[in-house]
Structure 1
Amino acid sequence: MHEALPSAMREAVDEFAGHLAGVRNRSAHTVRAYVGDVVSLLDHARRMGCAELAELDLTVLRSWLAKQRTMGAARTSLARRSASARTFSAWAHRAGLLPTDVAGALASPRAHRDLPSVLRADQAAALVEAPGRSAPGASTPDTVAGSRPRVPASGGRLTAPGSASGPTETDTADGDAAAHAAGGTAKAGTASGATADGTAEAVVLRDRALLELLYGTGVRISEACGLDIADVDHARRVVRVFGKGGRERAVPYGVPAQRALDEWLRHGRPALAGPHSREALLLGARGGRLNPTMARRIVSGYAEAAGLPPVSPHGLRHSAATHLLEGGADLRAVQELLGHSSLASTQIYTHVSVERLRAAYRQAHPRA
């Protein structure tokens, strides 16, 4: 669709993408989404007879959004596309490509925000303690199901060579599935069996560290997978996280997460580390940086195996924020911990707590 636009419009789209990435420091995902929206808008404008970008007006913008709605776009999608159009219009006006900021008066549909589902504190504890007790998925029996992972006698603090970042492992899913199932197929006493067994034990330690980090810090899954060894301050029990827009923040973690990280770094990571590991904190079974897709499978697999409600890494983030507020944490402090740029994003968790209180009241009070 980008190629179907007139050359001047294509050049404007490319410059806008560079502005988002280089000046606004938006993530690659955000740039793709905004550019896709703008290409769709300009293609619609072209079909309505706009031969040049300067001919774009509010009527065309509203027509484009109306068409998106008739095609079944959700309110959240419409809200994002409106934001994309306003951002592009403001940039194009500043760049001298539009005579006025035509989208400045564009109304944005108010996105309906469902309250996030969260685990109870006991359910969250059961989930993070599941590795070594239950399988990470109904169809992949864990090497050490029903017991704590066996820790190799040798080990010690790891010092990984290489640069601070490494390639994301692309074949992690197959590698981790094989490692989880290794205990059921490897024969004790053989060299291959010992290798597979050690990998499976390392994967279990990795899974425990991942779950403890996600719930203990409330970080996003992309932030957890992007951590390097140097980002963990063991003395202060703090991780350095790079969030949306490259914003850096320090997030504390508790003693259980510290123990899980120590076990992983001493006895798990050395068993998985390879030439492509570099400084990545969390590794896939084949030695590359753990990717978010596999991490999501790990979380949902352990939740299913432990008989818990379906939960994602973001569900653990929701749960961590809710439990912090229920425990008396200040809303501003929770905002900083989660890396929210707006307090409005954090306030939804106060609604979750109120709804849980109402549910308990309705269930327990005789006059409810």
Structure 2
Amino acid sequence: MKEGKAKVFTEQELRRTLRVISKKSHAKRNTALLWCSFGLGLRAKELASLRVENVLGADDQLLEEINLSSAMTKGAKQRFVYLTNSSLTEALGSYLAERQTQEGILFNPQAALFISQKGGAFTPNTLQQLFHRLFTEAKIQGASSHSGRRTFATTLIEKGADIKAVSRLMGHSSISMTAQYVEDNPLRLKEICRKLF
């Protein structure tokens, strides 16, 4: 699917996907992955690049901000994303607690944040395949690993965030690029016109 054209989820579709994931193997990891995609607007490459040290401080507490270095992002542009949404931090904390219990050791700060079934880091491609499988199991048509990113941008705009702030969170060099990610909602457009005068 062409980038920027992936399906934008409704809240109901996101909840349905989370419900389906919760009943499958690797539920906590996949829930955390989904929240990082939809709650931070991260690309598959960025998710695959995340290390434990990007989200956990020296005190093993979740950081409030993730520094995505230029090596981790498309276009080699450093940016920050924020671990401030409670659903996101709860999912990530739950996954990390499960992983620490299973591994029985303190985390290696350089270890991949998300571990595949084989015990290694995901590649961007294997993450894209995982998202495709999860969305297929949830019976969501037209979704891809980029759906979280598009949903993130669209939801922020619908909730009143200014496009400049959304552009910065997305790591775009121009507001016009961000505008391409945002899907117009006819109900929202009608409401905007209704409140014109």
Give the TM-score, by structure 2 length. Answer: 0.77
For the Cα contact (< 8 Å) 1:129–1:208, is it kept in 2?
no
Distance 1:277 1:249, change over 3 A: closer
Deviations 1:127-160 (A, max 9, x none): 2443223xxxxxxxx4xxxxxxxxxxxxxxxxxx
Once the two structures are superposed, the pairs formed by residues 1-368 of structure 1 within 5 Å of their partners are 116-133=6-23, 142=24, 200=25, 203-232=26-55, 234=61, 236-242=63-69, 243-253=73-83, 254-268=85-99, 271=102, 278-350=110-182, 352-353=183-184, 356-357=185-186
Gaps of 5+ in 1: 1-75, 77-112, 134-141, 143-199, 362-368
For the Cα contact (< 8 Å) 1:132–1:204, is it kept in 2?
yes
Distance 1:270 1:339, change over 3 A: farther
Per-residue deviation, 1:271: 2.9
Distance 1:273 1:204, change over 3 A: farther
Gaps of 5+ in 2: 191-197
Aligned Cα RMSD in Å? 3.0
For the Cα contact (< 8 Å) 2:52–2:109, is it kept in 1?
no
Paired residue type of 2:94: E
Partner SS, residue 219 of structure 1: coil
**Bigger radius of gyration among the two:** 1
Per-residue deviation, 1:235: 5.0
* Alpha-carbon separation, structure 1, partners of 2:90 and 2:187: 36
Distance 1:216 1:129, change over 3 A: farther
Q: How many residues align?
A: 179
* Alpha-carbon separation, structure 1, partners of 2:11 and 2:130: 20
* Alpha-carbon separation, structure 2, partners of 1:250 and 1:277: 19
Paired residue type of 2:20: A
Distance 1:327 1:220, change over 3 A: same
